């Protein structure tokens, strides 16, 4: 049973890691290269809510699968999910409001916080992947 749970947790965590990396480093960068800035911003604004749901759900499933195998990893994944709720419910609306008001300074600060949070989630998923693979 532990082999099955470890394998399933590893796969879901890999799904989470790959999805976050592809979205943040691939999709967002591609959108701004392929579209006019205004269209790219609109696309990104519409894409973030489902992205955050993907991260929340994947992290939650991976945390549950990890719980009986590696509680440290399960806790890390749960924290990724919980902090993503904060990003989706608090940070994202604040970023959008700053953009809508033209408050570039507040946008820059909030966006930087969002980027750091996402990078920390990617690193956390990578650490869990390495732990589970050993």
- Please, are residues 106 and 98 in contact by the beta-carbon 8 Å criterion? yes
Q: Is the pTM of this model over 0.85?
A: yes
Measured distance CA(21)–CA(121) in Å, rounded = 10
End-to-end CA distance of the chain: 17
**Residues 6+ away with beta carbon under 8 Å from 105:** none
Spell out, as residue ranges, where the chain has pLDDT lower than 50.
none
**Structurally, how many domains does the chain consist of?**
1
Q: Which domain holds residue 89?
A: 2-133
pLDDT recorded at residue 11 = 97
Q: Which two tokens stand for residue 56?
A: 């929340």
pLDDT recorded at residue 28 = 86
- Please, are residues 125 and 61 in contact by the beta-carbon 8 Å criterion? no
pLDDT recorded at residue 2 = 85
- Please, are residues 128 and 76 in contact by the beta-carbon 8 Å criterion? yes
Measured distance CA(36)–CA(13) in Å, rounded = 34
pLDDT recorded at residue 1 = 62
Chain centre to alpha carbon of residue 93: 16
Measured distance CA(10)–CA(24) in Å, rounded = 21
Query: What percent of the chain is modeled with pLDDT above 70?
Result: 99
């Amino acid at each position: 049973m532990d082999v099955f749970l470890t394998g399933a947790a590893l796969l879901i965590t890999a799904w989470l890691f790959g999805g976050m990396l592809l979205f943040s480093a691939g999709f967002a960068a591609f959108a701004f290269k392929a579209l006019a800035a205004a269209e790219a911003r609109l696309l990104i604004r519409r894409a973030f809510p489902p992205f955050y749901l993907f991260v929340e759900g994947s992290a939650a499933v991976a945390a549950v699968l990890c719980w009986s195998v590696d509680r440290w990893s399960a806790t890390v994944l749960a924290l990724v999910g919980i902090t993503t709720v904060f990003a989706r419910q608090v940070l994202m609306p604040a970023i959008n409001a700053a953009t809508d008001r033209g408050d570039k300074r507040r946008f820059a600060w909030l966006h930087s916080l969002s980027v750091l949070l996402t990078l920390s989630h990617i690193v956390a998923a990578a650490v869990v992947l390495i732990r589970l693979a050993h």
